[in-house]
Amino acid sequence: MSTARTIRTVHTVSELREQVKAWRAAGERVALVPTMGALHAGHVALMRAARSHAERIVVSIFVNPTQFAPTEDLSRYPRTLEADLDKADAAGVDLAFVPDAAEMYPEGFSTTISLTGPALGLETDFRPTHFAGVATVVAKLLLQAAPDVAMFGEKDYQQLQVVTRMARDLDIPVRIVGVPTVRESDGLALSSRNVYLSPEDRAAAPELHRALSGAAAAIAYGGNVLSAVDAARRTVTAAGFQLDYLEARHAETLAPVASREQGPIRLLVAARIGATRLIDNLAVPD
């Protein structure tokens, strides 16, 4: 461990709450950045954005087992704690909350959150238990840290909408803030899963963003929504992807849309190339 770090690391809910209580007593606002570790520039952007909302920043690092399906290899998810702590420290984070599974899900744990609304369809069609696991762990983190704001990346756009709706519906007193997607120079959205891409797959991966950009531009200039989406699907499959979905949805409710008149539009895609599943999304300009 680096001896130069100023970030504090805690492993229990009681330690987390004790520190947050002290900050509150000093009149300081608290921001939470929930992560599963393997931090990259996208996560750092969340931390830096958090500084404009609060005096104190908490980053949670927890690979949440309940959001992985039985067919997904939890053990393969990258774990880089020491590097993560260095990055969080360099970004000015005050506290890292690093619980283990027993702390988050003690013996006898038997509660999950049931979801509808923006959780229906898209990711749920391919990962049916995913958002129940996400919502449950995020609700726990929000109640444990009691932040004023919590930062989520727009790359996981459906997750952002699910969490926003959940906090609103359950009256959790926190403001959910979405932060724009951070991209490589060729448009590929930053993701912890990008490390799994082979050189050939990495070269093809930016086609996801190009396809979304082309469809968004076509719709913005008055093109037919369904035709633009179909053209984007063809672009993605021609690039060698196995497409899970590429859809035009209402930007807030995530209900299907077929025309500009049905509301602000978000294009969302999930596709596999090689052994890696990538997701991305893009707003259609007004």
Please indicate, yes or no, whether residues 265 and 152 belong to a single structural domain of this protein: no
Residue 3: predicted pLDDT: 56
Assigned domain for 16 exists: yes
For residues 22 and 151, state if they share a domain. yes
Strands 149-153 and 95-97: unpaired
Last residue of a domain, one of 125, 150, 179: 179
Q: How many C-beta atoms lie closer than 10 Å to residue 13's C-beta?
A: 17
Q: What is the pLDDT of residues 79-93, one digit of tens each?
A: 999 999 999 999 999
pLDDT over threshold 90, residue 76: no
Residue 211: name the closest of 231, 185, 188, 191 by CA. 231
CATH number, domain of 51, equals 3.40.50.620
- Ordered DSSP codes for 99-142: --HHHHS-TT--------GGGSSTHHHH-TTHHHHHHHHHHHHH
Residue 184 lies in a domain: no
How confident is the model over 105-111, as a mean pLDDT?
A: 97
Same structural domain, 109 and 211 = no
User: Would 2 be classed as within a structural domain?
Assistant: no
Q: Is residue 1 part of a domain?
A: no
Q: Do 203 and 233 share a domain, yes or no?
A: yes
130 classed as catalytic: no
- Number of separate domains in the chain: 2
> Over 90: is that where the pLDDT of 264 sits?
yes
pLDDT band for position 47 (cuts 50, 70, 90): very high
Q: Is the pLDDT of residue 2 over 60?
A: no
Percent of the chain's residues with pLDDT above 70: 99
CA distance 58 to 60: 7
Quick: pLDDT tens for 198-242: 999 999 999 999 999 999 999 999 999 999 999 999 999 999 999
Q: Which helix (H) or strand (E) holds 33?
A: strand 30-35
- Structure tokens belonging to residue 243: 């497409």
Q: Which residues are annotated as a binding site for (R)-pantoate?
A: 67, 159
Domain final residue, candidates 179, 206, 224: 179
pLDDT band of 156, cuts 50, 70, 90: very high
**Mind listing the pLDDT tens digit for each residue in 118-133?**
999 999 999 999 999 9
Tokens of 245: 């979905």
User: pTM for the full model?
Assistant: 0.95
Domain span at residue 257?
192-283
Within 146-272, residue ranges assigned H as helices are 157-169, 199-204, 207-220, 225-238
| Annotated binding-site ranges | 36-43, 67, 153-156, 159, 182, 190-193
Assign residue 267 the CATH number of its domain: 3.30.1300.10
Q: Is residue 22 domain-resident?
A: yes
Q: How far is CA 259 from the centre of its chain?
A: 27
Residue 28 has pLDDT above 80, yes or no: yes
Q: Please report the pLDDT score of residue 72 as a whole number.
A: 80
One domain, residues 83 and 12? yes
Selecting among 11, 43, 209, 250, the annotated active-site residue is 43
Helices 225-238 and 207-220: angle between axes, nearest 10 degrees: 160
Residue 277 has pLDDT above 50, yes or no: yes
Token pair for residue 254? 């995530």
Tell me: do 100 and 146 sit in the same domain. Answer: yes
CB 284 within 8 A of CB 267: yes
